[in-house]
Each structure stands twice: as C-alpha cells, then as structure tokens.
Chains A and B, each alone.
Chain A
Amino acid sequence: MIDRDEVLHVARLARLQLSEQEVQAMTGELSAVLDHIAKIGELDLDNVSPTSHVVEVTGALRPDEPVASLTREVALAQAPAVSGDGFLVPSPQA
C-alpha cells in the first residue's frame, strides 16, 4: 500500500509533476503492484547476502590516458537551450 501523500513525496523526489488524475491512478496502481511484490516479505532471507552484480569479477579499471573529447559544438548540439559556450538552465538560486 502506498497512500496519496507518499505518492506526492516520491513524485517530488523523482522530479515528476503528476496531474490530480495521475496521482489517483498512480496511488491505486502502485498499491496493487506493491501488494504482489510484498510476497517476498514471507521469505526467510536472514543469512542471504545481497546480489548487486551477477558478474563474478572485479576491477576493470581504466588506464589514466586521455582520449579525445567532443568539440563544444557537438557537446551543445542537442541542448534545448544554450547561451554562448554553455548549457542554459533556470537558475537553481532563483
């Protein structure tokens, strides 16, 4: 179960605006999915270690050697808003 307030809190964490209709739909749908998922709560997993990676190797570091960067034109090419030589955004200080 997830309630309306939690949905709004999570939406804010995820930077998702939800319409009133979406909030209602989301509350019901997520609750239903969480009900199914809750079944893993019944398993005894006390002495089980978590798996983050199925790949049983480690390391894979990169040598500290430069590779070519993108040109600024290419870096900025897909940006919705640019100003001169950078990406333009509404100020976080505003």
Chain B
Amino acid sequence: MNNTDIFDLSSAQAVAAIDAGTLSSGELFDAYRARASNDELNCFTWLAEQAPKDATTPPSQSPLNGVPLAVKDLFCTEGVPSQSGSRILEGYRPPYTATAVARLEEAGATLLGKTNQDEFAMGSSTENSAYGPVRNPWDPERVPGGSSGGSAAAVAAGLAPWALGTDTGGSIRQPAALCGIVGLKPTYGAVSRYGMIAFASSLDQAGPLTRDVTDAALMLRHMVGRDPRDATSLQFPEEVSLPSAERLDGVRLGVPQELTGEGIEGGVLEAFQATLARAEELGAQVHSVQLPHAPHALSAYYILAPAECSSNLARFDGVRYGARAQDAHDLLDMYTRTRHDGFGAEVKRRIMLGTYALSSGYYDAYYGRAQRVRTKIAEDFKAAFAEVDLIVTPTAPTVAFRLGEKTADPWSMYLNDYCTVPMSLAGIPAISIPCGLSEGLPVGFQIAGPVFSENRLLDAAYALEQVLGFDGSPARVSGAGGPA
C-alpha cells in the first residue's frame, strides 16, 4: 500500500486492512513515525524510535492490530517522558503506565508518541505548554484549542491515526472542534484515571480524539471498565458497539437556550443550525430545553477545578521527582523557588485561585457554593433528559483563534469552555463532531446524553457524520510532510 493510501485510512479501516493482509502493522507504524517526525505543528513532545517488536506481528488477540496511538503527555507511560506540558516534570520518566494506555496497548495499540498539551491540562489553546505552543493544521497562525491540543492537531494533520486525550472542562471536545475531528468525553468514571497526571480529580476523564465517529467508538471500547486502582471508576454497563445508525427517527434533540445564544459566534451558530436541520431531515425532533444554571457553570468550574488542582499539584515539591531549585538555603526556600521556577503562569494562577477558594474564611463563599451550583446543574440535566434524549450545542463559542489573541485576559480564554463545562460538572458523556466550516475553519457540534449513554451518542453522531460529509483532508495536507 502506498503512503498516500495509508494516510487515507481511518484507524478502523487500518485494522481491517491489516486483517486482510493488504497492510502490515510495521508498515503503518513506520509511515506514521516518518510523518510525525516531521512535526511542524509542535504536536509531539516525544516520539517512539520504533514500534516495539511484538507490534509488527500483533498476536491474534489484539483487536487493534498494532495501530499507532498518540498519547497526551499527561498519561504516565513507563520509562517514557511524561511531563504534562510542565517544566517541573522535564525528563520525568514514570515507573508505571496509566491504565487507559495499558488497556489500549493490551488491545494491540502501539505507542507512537506523547503529545503536547497545556501545562497540567490547564488551558484552552495549548499555548500554556513549557514545550511551546501547538499550531492548528487548518491555519498555523491559530491555536488548536486545548488542553489536548497536541493530540487533536496530530490527528487532524494526519500525524497520528488517532490519539488519547483528557477532558476536564472541554479539553477533548473543544480542540476536536477547533481542529475538525471527533472528540469524546465519556461518562465520569467510565475510564480509569489511574496514571493520568491529575488536574481536577472530580472532573478529569480520558477519551478518544479520532478522525471519525467509528474510530472513537473503537477506541472507547478498549478503554472503559472498572479499575481496582481507581476507586471512582465504574463498570461500563454494556459493550461499546460500533455505530451503525443511518436515521434519527424519533430521537428527541434538546437545544438549551442558555448555550445557543449570546456569546456564540455567528458563523458557529449558523453551522450549528444547519446541522440541526440535517438532523431533522434524518427524523430527529428538535425541542427547546432549559438548563437554567448552565450560565453559572463556568464560575463553579473555575472554583472547583482550581481548588482541586491546588491540592493535586502540591506534590510537585522537588523532593521525590521533577525539577528542584538549586542552592536553596532552607526547606521553605526550596519549596517556593522550585514551584516558582517549575510552574507556568496559568498554572500558578489556578493554584492561587484554588488555594484562595479553599482557604479559611472563603470556603463557604466559593468552594461550598460552587459545589451547590454543581448540584443544580446536574439536576437541570436530569430534568432536561426527562423531556429529550440528547442535548445538542455548539462545542465551542468560536472557531480557532489566533495565537496570543486571548492570553492576556484569562476570562476571555475561560469562555472557550462555556458550552462544554456544564456536561463536565454533571459527569455526563458528550461528543464533538465536525459539522462544517466558518471562515474556512472547523466548527464542532456537541451531543450530550445521560450517564452511560455513549452508545446512543455515538449512533447519533455517526448518523449525522454520514450526511454531513465533513472533509478533513485540507488539514492533513497542510499539517505535515513538509511546508504546506
């Protein structure tokens, strides 16, 4: 098979080609390895030298047939740099592998490389990486979204057939939207968090970033399940099936007014409305629903997530691993300078915000209230799902913006997560699929469902994907393999 043909294959198609004997997993790995090594978008922070031996002849029990996988840097991979985009973990090689990665490898995936990200997953543009910003393959002057920007850009640019990301407030869905690919945040607890360098523990969730919906289902199938090492992980109640729906007959889609009006860019809203029209053509019924507390989700999120992060990042103290400030004159000096030098500006901002929100005298006003808002948001969704099957919104309020455009004003950056954060707080699954272009840049369409409704989400996303016929090839052409 020639290389052009190889890069046209989705992961599921590559698996099938290897099964059919028209492609070998070694050939596939080498093709992607070569392409990824010419990474002008700064997607990768580490690349495998070569596929592990057994990846060239995958055992018959490995359903993923050795298909290469790009993995967000914050997943611990044994003996392989796992730096979470941070200076403080430069060169850190953990002694163990995250469960989600291990499960995919057991299913036959081959680690291709580690992808760049916002430091400790804090950001919506992948500009907050100690290893430099990632660029969007649709326009290298623009951001890929974040925090899983390296994973999203790598898949969109065809530097990896698929990638693993994490989503805390939108970090899979928003970069998927901005890069024109599929991103799925599973139900909280569906995938083990063991080995994911934590940002906000009650929200973090691993999920696939893929070229199409079928690949997302295929990857998810091999990630889910209870892990005895993660007390918050859950048994997935059914097998994740590969989607096949062609129609949406009788499916009730809820459009929340709060997330589809003010603050959403005109072009994004147009693409969203056009997609709703296609859904109706497929037989869906579109209803208006209310999520009265959704406009407050961002506020609650920017208390809860920083609070948890301030505690999760306390372990970076220069004692057991990571960088340590030199020549400290005492313990306090060692701590404060190590953390000053090791963390970037956004991480410091969130540590400060979270420490403040938890500190004596402020807990009730901030953390306590935010937890109650979270309750109301979850209740809003429950009430809405009594009336509709799925909720749909634009994934991000805008298309990809220019590098540096929002770095000066944190809140303007935080607004990127306006449509994705409510689902994160409620712990429910949501998928973003590319639904068209605005100003030549991809727009994401988000579909959310109740807890463990992944199969229904994937089916609906698949049915829409077939009629939308989104063409992601411009990014694959421009993103790699030399100058665009």
Please determine if A and B sit in direct contact within the complex, based on CB atoms under 8 angstroms apart: yes
Q: Which of B226-255 contact A (CB under 8 A)?
A: 228, 231-232, 234
Interface size on A, residues (CB 8 A): 54
Cross-chain pair count, CB within 8 angstroms: 161
Type the 1/0 row for A35-63, where 1 means its CB is closer than 8 Å to any CB of B. Answer: 01111110101001111111101001010
B411 touches A32 (CB 8 A): yes
User: Which residues 76-94 in A have Cβ within 8 Å of B in the complex?
Assistant: 77-81, 87, 89-92, 94
Q: Provide the bound-state CA to CA distance between A51 and B203, in Å.
A: 12
Q: A37-B366, A54-B188, A80-B324 are in contact. Are A94 and B355 (CB under 8 A)?
A: no
B274-305 at interface with A (beta carbon < 8 Å): 293, 296, 298-300, 302-303
- Complex CA gap A62/B178 in Å reads 41
Asked whether B211 is an interface residue with its Cβ less than 8 Å from the other chain, the reply is no
Contact check, A26 vs B349: say whether CB atoms are below 8 A apart.
Answer: yes
Contact yes or no, A50 B319, CB < 8 A? no
Instruction: Check if A50 sits within 8 Å of B317, measured CB to CB.
Output: no
Minimum C-beta distance from A12 to chain B (A): 8
Judging by beta carbons under 8 Å apart, are A62 and B331 in contact?
no
In Å, the complex CA distance between A7 and B329 comes to 24
Residue from A7, A10, A39, A94 whose CB has the most chain B CB atoms within 10 Å: A10
Asked whether, in the complex, the Cβ of B426 is within 8 Å of the Cβ of A40, the reply is no
In the complex the two chains form, is B351's CB within 8 Å of A14's CB?
A: yes
Rounded to whole Å, the gap between the CB of B368 and the closest CB of chain A is 6
A81:B324 contact, CB within 8 angstroms: yes
Chain B residues with Cβ below 8 Å from A33 are 302, 349, 353, 410-411, 414
Which residue of A54, A80, A90 contacts B202 across the interface (Cβ within 8 Å)? A54
A77 to B, closest residue via Cβ: B95
A17 and B318 alpha carbons, distance in the complex (Å): 14
| B46 / chain A contacts, CB cutoff of 8 Å | none
Contacts of B303 in A (CB 8 A): 37, 40
| Residues from chain B with Cβ under 8 Å of A14 in the complex | 310, 314, 339, 351-352, 355
Q: In the complex the two chains form, what is the Cα distance from A49 to B376 in whole Å? A: 9
Q: Judge whether A62 and B228 touch: CB under 8 Å.
A: yes
Interface residues of A (CB under 8 A from B): 2, 6-7, 9-19, 22, 25-26, 29-30, 32-34, 36-41, 43, 45, 48-55, 57, 60, 62, 70, 74, 77-81, 87, 89-92, 94
A-B contact sample (14 more), CB < 8 A, given A10-B355, A51-B375, A80-B322: A6-B356, A13-B355, A26-B352, A30-B352, A32-B411, A39-B296, A41-B365, A45-B369, A51-B372, A54-B427, A62-B228, A78-B320, A89-B319, A91-B331
A-B contact pairs, 7 of them (CB 8 A): A14-B310, A15-B314, A32-B411, A33-B414, A54-B189, A54-B426, A55-B232
